[in-house]
Amino acid sequence: MSDMSRIKTFNLPDLGEGLTEGEILTWLVKVGDIIELNQPIVEVETAKAAVEIPAKWAGQVQAIHHPEGTTVEVGAPIIAIDTDPGAGPLDAPSTTATPSGDLPAPSAASLAAVEVAPAEGMVEPGLIGGAAPGGRTAVLVGYGPRTTSAKRRPRKGGVPAQAAATPAPVAPAPVPAPVAPGHNGQGGGATGGLVLAKPPVRKLAKDLGVDLATLTGSGPLGSITREDVQQAANGATVVAEPITATATSAASFGADREQRIPVKGVRKLTAENMSRSAFTAPHVTEFLTVDVTRAMKVLERLRNRREWRDVRVSPLLLVAKAVLLAVKRHPMVNSTWAGDEIVVKEYVNLGIAAATERGLIVPNVKDAGRLSLRELADSLTDLVQTAKSGRTSPADMSGGTLTITNVGVFGVDTGTPILPPGESAILAFGAVREMPWVHKGKVKVRQVTTLGLSFDHRIIDGELGSKFLRDIGDFLADPEAALLAWT
């Protein structure tokens, strides 16, 4: 077997649902590892979920083309696998050849470490502030690590001055501080060498009047850090006029105290969906406050039953059951606006909004109306646990027809939720609180909650929306009576 036929390049697959890109969250293998067929090799976050991708071939990992945190288009190569490592060592040119065949393929470590000074008018890749959600460091939107090998080759020493990038112009310092010139690991700035500094550091230096070319960097590869710039600025303040203090004070409200978080993945999809829904479907929201004391007692009795002792029983279970029964009485609520027609669905894929580290997701219980109360409880438990672990699949978040958002878990009374695209109603379930309530002619302490129903007014008029919300409230006020009356 030739070297070329042994090396298989694995491209990022189409993960479905019209997704065009994914972010590499975690590599589960490294160069040199022996892997098996269908072994998970990488965890990728799409706009819908985090997914582990299995290997298409068994063999030995030869190259990883993109480091963690990189956004990769569907179809782009992400890893190279030697499918016959027992056949002996590969020839050096074949082992490291890139698709173009003329340059070595960089390792993940070298891709992550290389920093190239930007050309004039451009901004180089760089890190902003602290860590982004999920423990990864935030990257400027649009300036993430490049995915083309030819543009990520490590910079060699001795770059001619005329080929070097020109540093951004800086304002002259009122009284420049004497600092020792340095080489930054790439040749002194005064002699036309490259200056390694990220965009916020360059802006900070410009605001403080510090010439980057005169500094010795203490960061990776001799790059200049914020601390280097601030130390130089503090040295200048000692001998500067009062105007220097004013400049420093103004800079304290600048980029050095800001954090920029990339909008991507689940957060980006959520933002797009909410914006589209809010400005497409005419929303109406109604509220209903309900005495749920009897419902809470029913839950307690249910928990004490022998066959339910290993089942998670929460108020959300009764709310979900109430919604499903109300849909049977008012099927038009479970429908979709399709331009010149309304599609009324005879099945309910009940969505449950869940807040995760990666943002808001809405997985749904398929055909929830056909489930018994015990089956519904198990499905809700599995759905929530899967969402919290970050393992919800794109299929579980597709095809929802009606949604519940349980804002009560955050101690909130209710809200005005925005409809998920393609749905005509969403119910906000607020916190259950002990409150004074008129019960049988006397003011007593009762357990009370507030419901908020948002609906698409193109499909659901005020009468239908009010009746639907009233039926949910009636069930929660007296579940046993409602079951006997409606089923």
At residue 304, φ and ψ (nearest 5 deg) are -85, -10
Annotated catalytic residue 457: yes
Which backbone phi and psi does 484 adopt, to 5 degrees? -65, -35
3-state DSSP: the chain helix, strand, coil percent, rounded to 5?
Answer: 35, 20, 45
| C-alpha closest to that of 122 among 165, 70, 186, 163 | 165
Task: Count CB atoms within 10 A of the CB of residue 413.
Answer: 16
Please compute Rg for the chain using Cα positions: 30
Q: Do residues 126 and 140 touch, judged by C-beta distance below 8 A?
A: yes
The amino acid sitting at 471 is: D
Q: How far apart are CA 74 and CA 171, in angstroms?
A: 44
Please give the structure tokens belonging to residue 478: 């007296």
| Strands of 132-174, DSSP E | 137-139
> Looking at 183, 283, 330, 457, which residue is catalytic?
457
Q: What is the DSSP string of 393-423?
A: -GGGGSS--EEEE-GGGGT-----PPPPTT-
Please name the residue ranges forming H helices in 66-193: 92-96, 108-113
Answer positive or negative: Cα dihedral of 460, 464, 468, 473: positive
**Interhelix angle 242-251/199-208, nearest 10 degrees:** 150
Catalytic residues: 457
